[in-house]
Amino acid sequence: MAPSNFDQPLLSQIRDKVEAVFGYRPCLWQLKVVRAILKRDKDVASIAATGSGKTLTFWMPLLFVPEGIQIVVTPLNILGKQNVDSLAKVGISAITVTADTATSENFRAIAEGRHRAIVTNIETLMKPGGGFENLWNNKLFTSKIISIVWDEAQCVSKWGTFRPEYKTAGSLRYLLPKDIPFYITSATLPLDVLQDVMATLGMRESHTELFTRSNDRSNIHITVRKMKYPIHSFKDLAFLIPPDWDGTTPLPFKFVIFFDSITESIAAAQYLRGLLPLELRDKIKWFNSEMSPEFRADESDKFNAGLNYGLSCTESFGMGIDLPNITLVIQWRATCDMCTLWQRFGRGARNPDCEAIALFLVEPMYFDETKEEKAARKAKKEKAYPSRGG
How many Å apart are CA 194 and CA 198, to the nearest integer?
6
Taking residues 103-122, what's their average pLDDT?
97
Q: Is 89 exposed, middle or buried (0-12, 13-18, 19+ CB in 10 A)?
A: exposed
The domain spans of the chain are 11-212, 220-366
Per-residue model confidence (pLDDT) at position 6: 44
- Fold: same for 11-212 and 220-366: yes
Per-residue model confidence (pLDDT) at position 86: 87
Per-residue model confidence (pLDDT) at position 384: 84
Q: Is 337 exposed, middle or buried (0-12, 13-18, 19+ CB in 10 A)?
A: exposed
Q: Could you read off the pLDDT of 287-339 as tens digits, one per residue?
A: 888 888 788 878 888 998 989 999 999 987 655 567 888 999 999 999 999 99
Residue 389 pLDDT > 60:
no
Going 240 to 245 to 246 to 251, the CA torsion angle's sign is negative
How many Å apart are CA 40 and CA 35, to the nearest integer?
9
Q: Is 80 exposed, middle or buried (0-12, 13-18, 19+ CB in 10 A)?
A: buried
Per-residue model confidence (pLDDT) at position 4: 52
Contact 225, 361 (CB under 8 A): yes
Q: Could you read off the pLDDT of 194-206 as tens digits, one per residue?
A: 999 999 999 999 9
The percentage of residues in the chain with a pLDDT greater than 70, rounded to a whole number, is 96
Say how many Å lie between the first and final Cα of the chain, rounded.
87
Per-residue model confidence (pLDDT) at position 56: 96
The percentage of residues in the chain with a pLDDT greater than 90, rounded to a whole number, is 80
Instruction: Tell me which fold the domain 220-366 belongs to.
Output: Rossmann fold (3.40.50)
Per-residue model confidence (pLDDT) at position 319: 58
Q: Could you read off the pLDDT of 132-180 as tens digits, one per residue?
A: 999 999 999 999 999 999 999 999 999 999 999 999 999 999 999 999 9
Q: Which of 30-39, 136-145, 202-211, 280-289 has the lowest mean pLDDT?
A: 280-289
Beta strands in the chain (DSSP E): 43-47, 69-73, 94-97, 117-120, 145-150, 182-186, 208-212, 220-226, 255-258, 284-287, 310-313, 328-332, 356-362
Contact 43, 37 (CB under 8 A): no
What residues are paired with 222 via a beta bridge? 358
The separation between CA 195 and the C-alpha centre of its own chain, rounded to angstroms, equals 20
How many Å apart are CA 77 and CA 99, to the nearest integer?
10
Whether domain 11-212 has CATH 1.10.10.10: the reply is no
3-state secondary structure of 224: strand
How many Å apart are CA 182 and CA 115, to the nearest integer?
20
**H or E stretch including 5?**
none
Residue 5 pLDDT > 90:
no
Per-residue model confidence (pLDDT) at position 308: 92
Taking residues 268-294, what's their average pLDDT?
92
Residue 362 pLDDT > 70:
yes
Per-residue model confidence (pLDDT) at position 297: 79
3-state secondary structure of 359: strand
Residue 387 pLDDT > 80:
no
Residue 79 pLDDT > 80:
no
9: DSSP letter: P
Mean pLDDT of the residues in the chain? 93
Residue 352 pLDDT > 90:
no
